Structure 1
């Protein structure tokens, strides 16, 4: 196999936390990954929906952000929004 040019190739130690909880009528299973590479944000992976986003306290409060990123209803997003500040 020939060489393929890479734009970036970085290896870092990460800290990953796996959290499962029920909020209202919805169950969430998340992986929260922290690394220096992400600056002050946390990579939040919704394991059920196989979707991820870099989140911080500011962008989780933006209207429609969690709904769009994780494909959640407004009610599900609000339930998640209530838990995320303590998890980040």
Structure 2
């Protein structure tokens, strides 16, 4: 049996916020994880779609980032982006 080579194996304290809200056309069920990792950015999991992204304020300003990360149309992405601005800024 081959010995496993770990690149890292850390345990960190996190704060997790579970939030669900209804947009105009789309329901969002999110887990927002905050920790010392990822340079102050948040790990945002969309529980329904099984998609996630590491998000900071700079990512929200990146055109098409939210649309691509969560496979959303522009309108739904803007609703999610608006919510995320409230918590990552």
Q: Shared topology, TM-score over 0.5?
A: yes
Report Cα offsets for 1:17-70 as digits up to 9, x if no partner.
001001212110100001102221000001111011110111112111001111
Q: Which whole-Å CA distance do the structure 1 matches of 2:11 and 2:72 have between them?
A: 32
Alpha-carbon distance between aligned partners in 1 of 2:11 and 2:78, rounded to the nearest angstrom = 34
CA drift of 1:85 comes to: 1.0
Q: Which runs of 4+ in 1 moved over 4 A?
A: none
Unaligned runs of 5+ in 2: none
RMSD: 1.2
Q: Distance in 2 between matches of 1:42 and 1:61?
A: 15
The normalised TM-score by structure 2 is: 0.91
Q: Distance in 2 between matches of 1:51 and 1:75?
A: 18
- Matched residue, 2:72: 72
SS at match of 1:39: helix
TM-score (ref. length: structure 1): 0.92
CA distance in 1, matches of 2:34, 2:10: 15
Shift of 1:2: 4.7
User: What is the match of residue 13 of structure 2?
Assistant: 13
After TM superposition, give the deviation of residue 73 of structure 1 in Å: 0.9
